[in-house]
A and B are shown apart, each in its own frame.
Chain A
């Protein structure tokens, strides 16, 4: 089993009021088979044994599907690999002797709760504003009652892959939540079931996002480059179209 020795520079912050600072923590003897979070577990176990406060970080599934984990590693959301969440990032991608800078997501809309844990409830507010279909489903329909072309279903599925981790906001030079929001708007706009509420949805979700204090998209494409689910900015274009349709083509304001 190959092991590597690392030096971590981790953001430590006791709470919202605390100013926070970087702490240097040694991480010796890390197995290259570990995931990034397992490496943090090892460091935390040692800190706990030493009677020190472990590094707080969010996680849940540890298999890249829940969207809880995430941190900036050396200035990149979820670390250097493409299409990977932090829990799926393996230590074999690092070299012996590396120094890793580990910081929380940074955005006005995401306040640091503690260390690497940020409050992403702004995303919940955006979804609550309209990221759903409110029709009652009733009894199960025939599978082919509403035909959807294969390509459209695939495209909607691509958008639906969003796990809401917040890497798009963290990567965006403007801390914009466009990729996140557009994934949901696009996913539901592509589906016949989502059409009846399309105008209401895009207007309400955009309003909610703007109110949360996210920045404005300037097509820098950094979100797309760091999205662990590789969601494309074509969904942002579709959301912009949906917005235009809602503003000029619907009776809603």
Chain B
């Protein structure tokens, strides 16, 4: 089994890890967003979605374990890449300009990644670990977003996530070698669209919840 470890510790191997776990997170985001959007059908729909989800407790636990594993891989590999890439150019040019390849999204991946890590920690503290037994998820959300600071943090947080996946999605396809003259242009556009949907979809929720409560 040593060959597996060796394969994934090379520079391309590490990219595979980032891409595979990244795609996993993208599907998680899509599912999470679909669930959260039930709030637009009213608090009852939202609460019932949450209850139904928690009725599937063993499955949820299993998914959480998967997400945790993916997070550990994504973060550890990402930090390694960040460090290695930083040290791969010990003396820098006095003047360096972008040639038109990189975008704001691609250039900020390590930083948006770290911000997302901080955001996820806060999100788990405010939502997952703070929920009282008798409290419904809409009550919890209303009380959290009664504080404008949280509305601000969540809105910025979602812009950051949107920016990360706007580069991350097509980048994962490229890394996994899924590049094709017929499909790649669409994948690149889809990636931007996904970033936008994530940013707007999640980002609009706090405002809607404040309005409703």
- The CA-CA distance from A184 to B7 in the complex, in Å, is 20
Binary CB contact string for chain A from 241 to 253 against chain B (1 if under 8 A, 0 otherwise): 1111001000001
Among A171, A213, A214, A236, which residue has its beta carbon within 8 angstroms of that of B99? A171
Q: A76-B97, A109-B88, A217-B11 are in contact. Are A173 and B177 (CB under 8 A)?
A: no
Residues on A close to B: CB < 8 A? 22, 72, 74-77, 101, 103, 106-109, 112, 171, 173-176, 178, 206-207, 209-210, 213-226, 233-234, 236-244, 247, 253
Partner-A contacts on B (CB < 8 A):
2-3, 6-7, 10-16, 81, 84-85, 87-102, 106-107, 109, 167, 170-171, 174-179, 181, 184
What's the Cα separation between A239 and B181 when bound, in Å? 16
Assess whether B89 is in contact with A219, with CB atoms less than 8 Å apart: no
Which of A77, A103, A112, A237 sits near B177, CB closer than 8 Å? A237
Known: A108-B87, A171-B99, A253-B3. A103 touches B93 (CB 8 A): yes
Q: Closest residue of chain B to A222, judged by CB? A: B101
Contact of A243 among B12, B87, B94 (CB under 8 A): B12
Asked if B96 contacts A225 (CB within 8 A), the reply is no
- Chain A residue contacts of B99, Cβ below 8 A: 76-77, 171, 222, 225-226
Nearest CB in chain B to that of A221: its residue: B101
Interface pairs (5), CB distance under 8 Å: A76-B99, A108-B87, A171-B101, A214-B88, A247-B13
Chain B's nearest CB lies how many Å from the CB of A155?
Answer: 10
Known pairs A216-B84, A239-B12; A223 contacts B177 (CB<8 A): no
Which of B12, B16, B167, B179 gathers the greatest number of chain A CB atoms within 10 Å?
A: B12
| Top 5 closest pairs, chain A to chain B, by CB | A221-B101, A241-B177, A215-B88, A237-B179, A75-B97
Q: Are A216 and B11 in contact (CB under 8 A)?
A: yes
- Whether the pair A106, B91 counts as a contact (CB closer than 8 A) is yes
Please tell me if the beta carbons of A219 and B171 are within 8 angstroms of each other in the complex. Answer: yes
Q: Are A219's CB and B106's CB within 8 A? A: yes
Separation in Å of the A192 CB from the closest CB of chain B? 20
Interface of chain A, main secondary structure: mixed
For the complex, what is the distance from the CA of A83 to the CA of B66, rounded to whole Å?
Answer: 45
| Chain B residues in 8 Å Cβ range of A224 | 101
Q: Could you tell me the distance in whole angstroms from the C-beta of A102 to the nearest C-beta in chain B?
A: 10
Contact B90 A237 (CB under 8 A): no
Which listed residue, A103, A176, A210, touches B10 by the CB 8 Å rule? A210
A13 to B14, alpha carbons, bound, how many Å? Answer: 36
Partner of B95, one of A74, A207, A210, A242: A74
User: Interface centre among B91, B97, B99, B174, by most A CB within 10 Å?
Assistant: B99
- Kindly list chain B residues whose C-beta atoms are within 8 Å of the C-beta of A206: 10-12
- Determine the chain A residues whose CB is within 8 A of the CB of B167 once the complex forms: 219
Q: Are A218 and B106 in contact (CB under 8 A)?
A: yes
CA A225 – CA B181 in complex, angstroms?
Answer: 18
Least distance between A16 CB and chain B CB atoms (Å): 12
B93 touches A106 (CB 8 A): yes
**A108 lies within 8 A of B15 (CB):** no
What residues of chain B lie closer than 8 Å to A176, measured between beta carbons?
Answer: 11, 85, 88
A238 CA to B88 CA, complexed, in Å:
24
